[in-house]
Amino acid sequence: MILVGLTGGIGSGKSTVSALLAARGAVIVDADQVVRDVQRPGSPVLAKMAERFGPQVIAEDGSLDRAAVAAVVFSDPEALKDLNKIVHPAVGAEMNRQVMAELSTDHVVVMDIPLLTENPREGLQAVIVVDVDPEVQVQRLVGGRGFAEDDARARIAKQATREQRLATATHVVDNSGTLDDLAPQIDRLWVELTALPQLPPDWEMPAPKPKDA
């Protein structure tokens, strides 16, 4: 197994890069998907969230009302800390389980973690940063995802800066252009990733830090 991290700011197109790597054979361990999985209806994590934030965070069908949670934690640092304490240990454990299930393979395993710069992971053999100018992020969030401009800028401001992300990178993907511009970069990146050494069969995943995803 070859283990690498993938990150990028909101609106950077990280999911597109992740999909292109998967198309070339990478196994994706997606932090956002794991978060959704551990918060599924009936899960212990969801029960703890309802206990902490109130029954209004549960929708009528028993699923998590993500907008309701966001409304609580976005401007309340203490509430956000409590949310992280509930969610992150479960997410970290599940991500580690998925990674270790691939240890005996020759796969390139990509840990897709939006906040990897803010919450670094040990044990990664490379860190891929999807890089765009912050103004491009704003344009994509407003034009493609329906964000109000003020909301888009506020969300970008709450994440690591472009410079902070780039400082952690071993590989940088410039996603400011088109898909046609992106594909050749992913081809080159794939060659570089598959040339990394395989981890030994007795390798152990370092314990996750308190904030994982």
SS3 of residue 22 by DSSP? helix
As a whole number, the mean pLDDT across the chain is 93
User: Residue 135 — very low, low, confident or very high, per pLDDT cuts 50/70/90?
Assistant: very high
Count the neighbouring beta carbons within 10 Å of the beta carbon of residue 141: 20
**What's the rounded Cα separation, in Å, for the pair 66 and 75?**
15
pLDDT of the residue at 136: 93
In this predicted structure, the answer to whether residue 30 has a pLDDT above a threshold of 60 is: yes
pLDDT over 90, % of the chain: 86
Strand order in the sheet with 108-112: 27-30, 108-112, 2-8, 127-131, 171-174
Half-sphere exposure of 32 (CA within 13 A, CB side): 12
pLDDT digits (tens, 9 = 90+) for 138-180: 999 999 899 999 999 998 998 999 999 999 999 999 999 989 9
pLDDT of the residue at 213: 41
pLDDT over 70, % of the chain: 97
pLDDT digits (tens, 9 = 90+) for 35-76: 999 999 999 999 999 999 999 999 999 999 999 998 888 778
Q: Which residue has tokens 């034009």?
A: 143
The answer to whether residues 137 and 12 touch, using CB atoms and an 8 Å cutoff, is yes
pLDDT of the residue at 202: 94
Question: pTM to 2 decimals?
Answer: 0.89
pLDDT of the residue at 211: 47
User: Residue 212 — very low, low, confident or very high, per pLDDT cuts 50/70/90?
Assistant: very low
User: Which residues, 6+ apart, have CB-to-CB distance to 4 below 8 Å?
Assistant: 108, 109, 110, 111, 124, 125, 126, 127, 128, 193, 196
**What's the rounded Cα separation, in Å, for the pair 210 and 213?**
10
In this predicted structure, the answer to whether residue 5 has a pLDDT above a threshold of 80 is: yes
DSSP 160: P
Give the DSSP H/E element, type plus range, for residue 174. Answer: strand 171-174
pLDDT of the residue at 208: 58
Q: Which residue has tokens 């309701």?
A: 68
User: Residue 207 — very low, low, confident or very high, per pLDDT cuts 50/70/90?
Assistant: confident
Residue type, 44: P
pLDDT digits (tens, 9 = 90+) for 116-132: 999 899 999 999 999 99
